[in-house]
Amino acid sequence: MPNPTALTPYPATITKIDVEAGDTKTFTVVFDDPEIMENFGNQPGQVCMLSAFGEGESTISITSSPTRGKFLEFCVRRVGRLTSVLHQMEVGQKIGVRGPYGNGFPYEMMKGKDLFFIGGGSALAPIRSLIDYVLSDQYRSDYGRVEILYGARSMDDVLFKSDLAERWPAIQNTKIYTTIDRPEEGWNGHVGFVPPFIEEVAPTPENKIVILAGPPILIKLGLAVMEKLGFKDEQIITTLEMRMKCCLGKCGRCNVGSKFICVDGPVFSLAQLKEMPPEY
Amino acid sequence: MMNLAQQLQEQAKKLLEEKKVDLVIGFGQGTELARNTPVFIDSPEGVSALTWGPFCANNLAKYLSDYNNAPGGTAVVVKGCDARSVNRLLDDNQILREKVVVIGVPCPGQLEWQKVSAEIKPGSTLKEVVDNGDSYTVKTDSGDYSFSKKDYLLHRCLVCENPNPVISDITIGKELPVKNYEERFAEVQDLEKLAVNEKSAYWDKQFTRCLRCYACRNVCSVCTCEVCVFDQMMPMWVSKRTNLSENTAFHITRAFHVAGRCVDCGECDRVCPMDIPLRKLNVKIHKDLGDLFNSPTPGTEPGLISPLGGFSPGDPEEFM
Amino acid sequence: MESRVVNKGQISELLDKLAKDYNLFAPVKDETMTLFRRVSGAQDVLLDYNNSDISPKGCFLPQNEKTFSYMYTGDSLEINKPEGAQKTVLFGARPCDIKAVLTFDPVFEGVKFGDEYYSSKRENSIIIGLSCTKVLSTCFCYAMGGGPCDITGSDLLLTEIGDKYYVEVITEKGQALVDAYSQIFAKQDTAQLAKDKDELAKKLSGEFVRKVDLTGVKELMDNNFELPYWSGDDQKKCISCGICTYVCPTCHCFDIFDYTTGDFTGDRIRCWDSCMYPEYTLEAGGHNPRPTRKERIRNRFMHKIKYHLDRYNMVGCVGCGRCVIKCPVNIDITKIINDLKEVAQNA
């Protein structure tokens, strides 16, 4: 059944705000109507349209996994008009949420495989929903080894610090690699950009799926490295970002060729990406 | 004797062959008989696309700043009114004099293509246009058609101040007599006679139609801001909603923003898909600048300082 | 279905009645422009026109449309949606513009997400088409599968024959309307009028001067995204205005934003937007996937002749010729199609 009322957001309340970095906060949001919360049915990798009334809407990926509870988390970097307003909001304030939109990650296809996550900058946010899904008590046994390679510009820009340092490493059969662009006092980890770091870690392609997310430049360079390491196009999954207004495949602007990122994406395999014009 | 188009082609070829410029921006035949279109020629072989006639309405000076970062020079074909744009762009430091070659063509007036097109049998091919002084004869394979200038010229051409380009490195064709049109401000004077509420009603009716396609802004040769105030998101000065209030804010802001710089090329008026008489707004400002400061139309001479854009210690206004 | 006859002398009566019983949208003269407007009766309506300056797409997708209003104080929120559409008649639209509405349908009545605003208007509207009587030099509907007397998409199609309108009843909605106004839509022998209409259609189809042929163009596009053609004069002369998209009857892209009215209240608005604007795809972070006029022009024309076909199996152009007329720099879709065809043939 098509949802005809899709442009109207549901009222929701901000229940928690975590400061991730100087320009990034994670908002925990709960729908005012418990029935909507119960039946929202978000899948890892999907996105929502967040409304700040008086300012408009913006597409934000859901960074929480549905396995973590009946709430939604949105990790928001302050870059534009709407995100600046969101950053001024406080716990208890109302926003509007509509969704969930997009295809989400093909987690069924990933079952039985090792997973190698690569995230650059704020793009850890969209893949975190899948990381938490596959690492959940419920589904951990469905997946093999989980490795996460994450790079940020500086120590301050590292998102989900406690997830990376404590929560995820504590789960069995996981490995976390982190890097920052330039050396900094107090940082004992790797220093350098993400693409060469992937080459250094050199994941092997056997029975492995790579999930890659980052700014357009990282996607382009990262894909090249993965191909060099012997990964096939079907083994590489990425998630795209485009400017969106409706998220329903109608407003037109997020097309890449004949595909709309909002309804046909945002998740694509490299095999699918190669069928599309390089206009993202 | 070569016709003007042939002379243009010759000059363009020479400029390109001698590498004085890498690009010539001129007029070529459009997709309708009575229509020409901008062409961009980068090789001597391409110059045959250049044409000239009474269907060259576009102000090509608008494109010059697109080539500021090109390694070579750019030549541009201009009419008298467009030449004012070149002066203005130079004064605003939007283009570099040494990178631009101005090919000026004295212009006896441009026809409104849609009006002309409506009279000519569809599918005809243009053979030649003859200027008879008060009219043009358009010769086609389906016969000859006569168009009186009084009825078929673009409004702006009926009160043309500069039929001869005011800046030109190469002039093609003969200089034309300059007329002093007393009726230059007639349309504005008619509006001035209206009562305030009548004026308001007049403009409300016009602005209500506006689609906010921004063609008037984008075609304007003096609209050179990197980020336009109407495109800004933070803060959003004017909403994208099209209603009388927002549309009026757009048009009035724009008129004032180009006040003292508008060269009256009339392009905003020509391109408006909703036939909003935008030139009247600008001409009103020209008239006032003339009345109050004895200021000529911007761009008429190089180095003209706009009374609204200059500073003088002797200014009688105390707050200055 | 059946056909009827309306005497020209009764058109005013019909329009007056329709205006009373429905929201009536019809072509009117506004100074130099022909535009579709809501009218209160026959007196404003202009049926002797070639092609309106702006298509009647606004009847289904208004340039500005309130999707809801809100009252928001920070910790309280109330959302109120507008009522559904009222009964509407779109009168006197040309076959190309009506065909264009059909290209909207799969966009707004999608598989997964519908659009209550569009559907409500569509369901509550009756489209009364009006066959063309003249072909302009810019017309090319024949090349996009339409025609000056094409019935596609109309509920009723009127064709002017002498002092009568020949009325073809095409849908049940149309049938219900002619039955309700049966004193105007006369039951008569229409065999001769039907013949006359065929004659007119035949005559008009011979009057197109623009030769446009789509054959092979989509196939070329399928296999070639990067073509040197897109770096040519069109992207150099384009001024990035929104005219082509706003006058286009098949362009449906929109923006969504809030319009505050003060006192914690405001409206959420969707309004037409244009893929020719640089800001259209500009992301808040500064990245722009279509940063120059080249990418934007390519996207617009590819959308018309490939993307819309790929997605909905319909060409995204109906050949109304408005963009050809209104483009300030004479970017011409028929030239682009023909040029691409030449590229395809030489490939």
Domain layout of chain C by residue ranges? 3-61+82-205, 217-253+273-346
Q: What value does the mean pLDDT of chain C take? A: 94
* Per-residue pLDDT at A220: 86
Q: Is B271 on the interface with C (CB under 8 A)?
A: yes
Q: Does residue C279 contact residue C198 with C-beta atoms inside 8 Å?
A: no
* Per-residue pLDDT at B2: 67
* Per-residue pLDDT at A6: 83
Mapping DSSP to helix (H, G, I), strand (E, B) and coil, where does residue C117 land?
A: helix
**Euclidean distance between CA atoms C305 and C310, whole angstroms:** 9
Q: Does residue C90 contact residue C56 with C-beta atoms inside 8 Å?
A: yes
Q: Is C274 on the interface with B (CB under 8 A)?
A: yes
Which residues, including other chains, have CB under 8 Å from residue B44's CB and lie 6 or more apart? B13, B16, B17
**Euclidean distance between CA atoms C334 and B32, whole angstroms:** 11
- Taking CB atoms and an 8 Å cutoff, what residues of chain C touch B219? 239, 241, 328
Once rounded to an integer, what is the mean pLDDT over residues A129-138? Answer: 96
Tell me the shortest Cα–Cα distance from B100 to chain A, in angstroms.
34
Mapping DSSP to helix (H, G, I), strand (E, B) and coil, where does residue A229 land?
A: coil
| φ, ψ (nearest 5 deg) of residue A106 | -80, 70
**Euclidean distance between CA atoms B278 and B268, whole angstroms:** 6
Provide the 10 A C-beta neighbour count for residue B18: 9
| φ, ψ (nearest 5 deg) of residue C198 | -60, -40
Handedness of CA C39, C45, C47, C50 (dihedral sign): negative
pLDDT exceeds cutoff 50 at C5: yes
Which residues, including other chains, have CB under 8 Å from residue A205's CB and lie 6 or more apart? A229, A230, A231, A232, A235
Q: Does residue A26 contact residue A18 with C-beta atoms inside 8 Å?
A: yes
Provide the 10 A C-beta neighbour count for residue A164: 20
Domains parsed from chain A with CATH numbers: 10-101 (2.40.30.10), 114-239 (3.40.50.80)
In degrees, to the nearest 5, what angle opens at C-alpha B71 toward C-alphas B67 and B74?
Answer: 45
Q: Which of A5, A92, A94 sits opposite C77 (nearest CB)?
A: A94
Give C260's pLDDT tier (boundaries 50, 70, 90): confident
Q: Is B40 on the interface with C (CB under 8 A)?
A: yes
Provide the 10 A C-beta neighbour count for residue C176: 12
- Taking CB atoms and an 8 Å cutoff, what residues of chain A touch B233? 80-81
* Per-residue pLDDT at B234: 80
Which whole-number Å values give the CA distances from B211 to A52, A160, A231, A246, in the listed order?
A: 27, 46, 51, 22
Tell me the shortest Cα–Cα distance from A143 to chain C, in angstroms.
31
**Euclidean distance between CA atoms B313 and B306, whole angstroms:** 15
Contact B242 C271 (CB under 8 A): yes
Q: Where are the beta strands (DSSP E) in chain A?
A: 10-21, 24-31, 47-52, 56-61, 72-77, 94-101, 114-120, 146-152, 174-180, 190-191, 208-213, 236-239, 255-256, 259-260, 267-269
Chains that touch C (3 or more CB pairs under 8 A): A, B
Which residues, including other chains, have CB under 8 Å from residue C258's CB and lie 6 or more apart? A53, A54, A55, A56, C70, C266, C267, C268, C269
Amino acid (one-letter) located at A232:
K
Residue C313's closest chain A neighbor by CA?
Answer: A258
Mapping DSSP to helix (H, G, I), strand (E, B) and coil, where does residue C275 land?
A: coil
- Taking CB atoms and an 8 Å cutoff, what residues of chain C touch A241? 283
In the block, tokens 């997310």 appear at: A213
Q: Which of C74, C107, C284 sits opposite A250 (nearest CB)?
A: C107
Contact B123 C137 (CB under 8 A): yes
* Per-residue pLDDT at C74: 78
- Taking CB atoms and an 8 Å cutoff, what residues of chain B touch A84? 234
* Per-residue pLDDT at A4: 60
Mutate to test the interface with A, among C60, C66, C72, C273 (most CBs of A within 10 A): C72
Which whole-number Å values give the CA distances from A263 to A251, B241, C158, in the listed order?
A: 12, 27, 40
* Per-residue pLDDT at A211: 95
Q: Is B244 on the interface with C (CB under 8 A)?
A: no
Which whole-number Å values give the CA distances from C175 to A115, C59, C128, in the listed order?
A: 62, 21, 11
How much is the CA Rg of chain C, to the nearest whole Å?
22
Once rounded to an integer, what is the mean pLDDT over residues C98-115? Answer: 92
Chains that touch A (3 or more CB pairs under 8 A): B, C
Q: Which of A7, A96, A249 sits opposite C110 (nearest CB)?
A: A249
Range in A172-186, B136-150, C72-86, C88-102 the model is least confident about: C72-86
Q: Does residue A96 contact residue A60 with C-beta atoms inside 8 Å?
A: no
Contact C280 A253 (CB under 8 A): yes
Contact C271 B123 (CB under 8 A): no
Amino acid (one-letter) located at A92:
G
In degrees, to the nearest 5, what angle opens at C-alpha C271 toward C-alphas C270 and C273?
Answer: 125
Q: Which of C239, C330, C335 sits opposite B215 (nearest CB)?
A: C239
Contact A80 B233 (CB under 8 A): yes
Per-residue pLDDT tens digits of chain B, which is 320 residues long: 569 999 999 999 999 999 999 999 999 999 999 999 999 999 999 999 999 999 999 999 999 999 999 999 999 999 999 999 999 999 999 999 999 999 999 999 999 999 999 999 998 999 999 999 999 999 999 999 999 999 999 999 999 999 999 999 999 999 999 987 778 899 999 999 999 999 999 999 999 999 999 999 999 999 999 889 998 888 888 999 999 999 999 999 999 999 999 999 999 999 999 999 999 999 999 999 999 988 899 999 988 888 888 777 777 777 65
pLDDT exceeds cutoff 60 at A133: yes
Give the β-pairing of C254-262 and C164-169: unpaired
Amino acid (one-letter) located at B220:
C
Once rounded to an integer, what is the mean pLDDT over residues A73-102? Answer: 94
**Euclidean distance between CA atoms C227 and C219, whole angstroms:** 13
Q: Which of B36, B38, B214 sits opposite C241 (nearest CB)?
A: B214
* Per-residue pLDDT at B184: 87
Amino acid (one-letter) located at C260:
T
Contact A94 C270 (CB under 8 A): no
- The H or E element containing residue C223 is helix C217-223
Task: Please report, for chain B, the start and end positions of each structural domain, with discontinuous segments joined by +.
Answer: 4-171, 182-293
Tell me the shortest Cα–Cα distance from B236 to chain C, in angstroms.
11
pLDDT exceeds cutoff 80 at C268: yes
Q: What's C292's DSSP letter?
A: S
Q: Is B200 on the interface with C (CB under 8 A)?
A: no
Which whole-number Å values give the CA distances from B169 to B8, B161, C163, in the listed order?
A: 13, 20, 62
Give C145's pLDDT tier (boundaries 50, 70, 90): very high
Say how far residue A237 (Cα) sits from the centre of its chain: 12
Contact B233 A84 (CB under 8 A): no
Nearest to C122 by CA among C100, C149, C148: C100
Q: What's A166's DSSP letter?
A: I
Mapping DSSP to helix (H, G, I), strand (E, B) and coil, where does residue A75 land?
A: strand
Contact B213 C241 (CB under 8 A): yes
Which residues, including other chains, have CB under 8 Å from residue A228's CB and lie 6 or more apart? A199
Give A1's pLDDT tier (boundaries 50, 70, 90): very low
